[in-house]
Amino acid sequence: MASVSLESIKRKFNNVTAIEDITFDIPDGEFWVLVGPSGCGKSTILRTIAGLETATSGKLYIGDKLMNNVPARQRDVAMVFQNYALYPHMTVAENIAFGLRMRKIDPKVVQERVMTVARSLALEHLLERKPKQLSGGQQQRVALGRAIARQPQVFLLDEPLSNLDAQLRDDTRAELKELHQKLGITTVYVTHDQVEAMTLADQIVVLNRGRIQQIGEPQEIYAKPANRMVATFLGSPPMNILPAKYVAGGFAVDGQVLPVTAYMQDKLHLREGLEFDLGVRPESININEPQRRREHREEELGELVVEVKVVEPLGRETLIRASLPSSGVLVNVQVGADVRPRPGDRLTLEIDLGQLFVFDTATGDRLYPPSAP
Ligand SMILES: Nc1ncnc2c1ncn2[C@@H]1O[C@H](COP(=O)(O)OP(=O)(O)OP(=O)(O)O)[C@@H](O)[C@H]1O
Ligand SMILES: [Mg+2]
């Protein structure tokens, strides 16, 4: 096992800068997740660590060894891709053993390792089958097994679950987490699925346009996103962004006014006419009905009237897709399963001002809540 460190890694393809100034330090044994929209540079970072891509500048260390000029096969990393390439003419057992056979490891040791890996991935009963006799999920587990059998210093996984159906994806995700808890191998995992990022990561690295937006524990990133991009990327349904202008004592939103708390007043440099983007998570909104009122003091609540567009019952809860009446800005609201308004209804939303985010409209940086309380 080993730590993985990137220092100002940059990769250009001709004139296109795919990643820039990528710096992070993964301690030995941790599970880190790189997340971000398509094209943000996730695979490029992973491939650079693997040695399949050469950094244009910057330094890469695995353990304390500088890796920039070390060929891929000497890096002792195992990579699993989205399109797991199994050898079709080999059995599951032979596929898992392949990397070990290549290294001329004692056949008895190989046999033992294949069995251990097969047991931990529930593949024992499939060892004699060929890949085409397996389901997609089973094939993906074989690809993982082949990587695990090698017992590398570092695992690099590039969207390994994205070809699986929803149920299998959930199951395999949990298996991966369990496996990591058992083996403790340093892992870098790439996904654009924020649920995978939240559930698997010790630390999440959020990327956008080739640059790091934020690094932190999942809960920390959720509670204190560095900027609007991070805020809207992690969370489902995403955080609502409401354009607002500061007017005497409040934020004008779509011709309505949300009050500004004394604390917010103190932390934000508010001037008449300044524009902001307010961030409201769908779960920090309640429907304003007297019997539902939470134990809030009046001044910590704001109200907004919206028009219901679509109502989606999700079993445990209801998702209401609404819009602000004048501007048409969309507002997602997550409420209890028993709340079922109809399309076209006007609803008064009760907004918990304690959970409000404020972003700089131009830069997207988070201004509130403040970094230091
Ligand atoms: N070989 C290449 N030649 C030119 N441009 C490339 C090459 N590989 C990647 N890029 C560009 O670099 C950027 C980052 O690509 P990368 O594959 O790392 O993104 P990604 O985050 O993995 O995206 P996805 O989620 O779609 O897999 C993209 O703009 C891409 O077009
Ligand atoms: Mg990719």
Check which CATH number belongs to the domain holding 132 and give it: 3.40.50.300
What mean pLDDT do residues 298-316 have? 89
pLDDT digits (tens, 9 = 90+) for 66-125: 999 999 989 999 998 877 789 999 999 999 999 888 888 899 999 999 999 898 888 999
289: pLDDT strictly greater than 80: no
Helices (H) and strands (E) counted in the chain, each on its own, are 9, 21
- Domain final residue, candidates 169, 201, 225: 225
What mean pLDDT do residues 234-251 have? 93
User: What percent of the chain stands above pLDDT 70?
Assistant: 97
Q: Whose CA is nearest to atom 25 of ligand 1?
A: 38
Q: Indicate if 135 and 250 belong to the same structural domain.
A: no
Q: Which one, of 33, 31, 3, 7, lies nearest residue 19 by Cα?
A: 7
291: pLDDT strictly greater than 80: no
Structure confidence at residue 299 as a pLDDT band (50, 70, 90):
low
* 365, two tokens: 């940086």
Query: 171: Cβ–Cβ under 8 A, 6 or more apart, which residues?
Result: 137
The answer, yes or no, to whether any atom of ligand 1 lies below 6 A from the CB of 87, is: no
Q: How far is the CA of 45 from the centre of ligand 1 (A)?
A: 10
Within a domain: 9 = yes
- The pLDDT of residue 371: 87
Within a domain: 77 = yes
| Residue 41 alpha carbon, nearest atom of ligand 1 | 18
Rounded distance between C-alpha atoms, residue 20 and residue 26, angstroms: 18
Q: Kindly report which listed range (105-114, 164-173, 239-248, 254-263) carries the lowest average pLDDT score.
A: 164-173
Q: Which residues pair with 97 in a beta bridge?
A: none
Q: Is the peptide bond before 243 cis (omega within 30 degrees of 0)?
A: no
Within a domain: 48 = yes
Q: Indicate if 269 and 144 belong to the same structural domain.
A: no
Angle, vertex CA 275, rays to CA 269 and CA 281, nearest 5: 90
Q: Indicate if 217 and 254 belong to the same structural domain.
A: no
Whether the Cβ atoms of residue 30 and residue 186 lie closer than 8 Å to each other: yes
- Domain final residue, candidates 197, 225, 253: 225
Q: Indicate if 295 and 212 belong to the same structural domain.
A: no
pLDDT digits (tens, 9 = 90+) for 213-222: 999 999 999 9
* 117, two tokens: 């890996």
| Residue 210 alpha carbon, nearest atom of ligand 1 | 14
| Domain boundaries, position 62 | 4-225
Name the 3-class secondary structure at 283.
helix
Give the containing element (helix H, strand E) for 100. Answer: helix 92-102
Q: Indicate if 219 and 244 belong to the same structural domain.
A: no
Rounded distance between C-alpha atoms, residue 20 and residue 47, angstroms: 15
Within a domain: 143 = yes
Q: Indicate if 142 and 284 belong to the same structural domain.
A: no
What mean pLDDT do residues 278-288 have? 90
Q: Is the peptide bond before 237 cis (omega within 30 degrees of 0)?
A: yes
Pocket test for ligand 1, best of 19, 22, 38, 43 (most atoms within 8 A of CB): 43
pLDDT digits (tens, 9 = 90+) for 119-168: 888 899 999 999 999 988 788 889 989 998 988 999 999 998 887 778 88
Give the containing element (helix H, strand E) for 156. Answer: strand 154-158
Give me the sheet containing 57-62, strands edge to edge. 16-26, 4-13, 57-62, 65-66
- The pLDDT of residue 373: 62
Q: Indicate if 268 and 300 belong to the same structural domain.
A: yes
What mean pLDDT do residues 236-252 have? 94
The answer, yes or no, to whether any atom of ligand 1 lies below 6 A from the CB of 11, is: no
- Proximal ligand: closest to the CA of 19: 1
Within a domain: 137 = yes
Pocket test for ligand 1, best of 11, 14, 40 (most atoms within 8 A of CB): 40
- The pLDDT of residue 294: 53
- Proximal ligand: closest to the CA of 47: 1
What is the dihedral sign for C-alpha 305, 309, 313, 317?
A: negative
Within a domain: 261 = yes
Q: How far is the CA of 154 from the centre of ligand 1 (A)?
A: 22
Q: Kindly report which listed range (41-55, 111-125, 291-305, 336-350) carries the lowest average pLDDT score.
A: 291-305
Q: Which one, of 53, 52, 353, 9, lies nearest residue 207 by Cα?
A: 9
Phi first, then psi, for residue 193 (nearest 5°) are: -95, 115
| Residue with token string 């529930």 | 122
Structure confidence at residue 287 as a pLDDT band (50, 70, 90):
confident
Q: For the purposes of burial, counting CB atoms within 10 Å of the CB of 144, is it exposed (0-12), middle (13-18) or buried (19 or more)?
A: buried
Q: Whose CA is nearest to atom 4 of ligand 1?
A: 13
Q: Which one, of 362, 3, 333, lies nearest residue 154 by Cα?
A: 3
Q: Indicate if 331 and 214 belong to the same structural domain.
A: no
What's the structural domain count of the chain?
A: 2
Structure confidence at residue 297 as a pLDDT band (50, 70, 90):
low
Question: What pTM does this model have?
Answer: 0.91
Q: Indicate if 266 and 155 belong to the same structural domain.
A: no
| Residue 36 alpha carbon, nearest atom of ligand 1 | 21
- Proximal ligand: closest to the CA of 34: 1
User: What percent of the chain stands above pLDDT 90?
Assistant: 73
Q: How far is the CA of 150 from the centre of ligand 2 (A)?
A: 24
Within a domain: 259 = yes
Q: Indicate if 104 and 201 belong to the same structural domain.
A: yes
Q: Kindly report which listed range (17-31, 76-90, 344-358) carries the lowest average pLDDT score.
A: 76-90
User: What is the CATH number for 298?
Assistant: 2.40.50.140
Whether the Cβ atoms of residue 212 and residue 58 lie closer than 8 Å to each other: no
Phi first, then psi, for residue 38 (nearest 5°) are: -55, 135
Q: Indicate if 32 and 156 belong to the same structural domain.
A: yes
Give me the sheet containing 285-287, strands edge to edge. 285-287, 346-352, 301-313, 317-323, 330-336
Q: How far is the CA of 304 from the centre of ligand 2 (A)?
A: 40
The answer, yes or no, to whether any atom of ligand 1 lies below 6 A from the CB of 44, is: yes
- Domain final residue, candidates 191, 225, 259: 225
Q: Whose CA is nearest to atom 30 of ligand 1?
A: 39
pLDDT digits (tens, 9 = 90+) for 191-217: 988 899 999 999 999 999 999 999 999
Q: Indicate if 296 and 327 belong to the same structural domain.
A: yes
* 258, two tokens: 């949300």
Within a domain: 231 = no
Q: How far is the CA of 54 from the centre of ligand 2 (A)?
A: 16
- The pLDDT of residue 46: 97
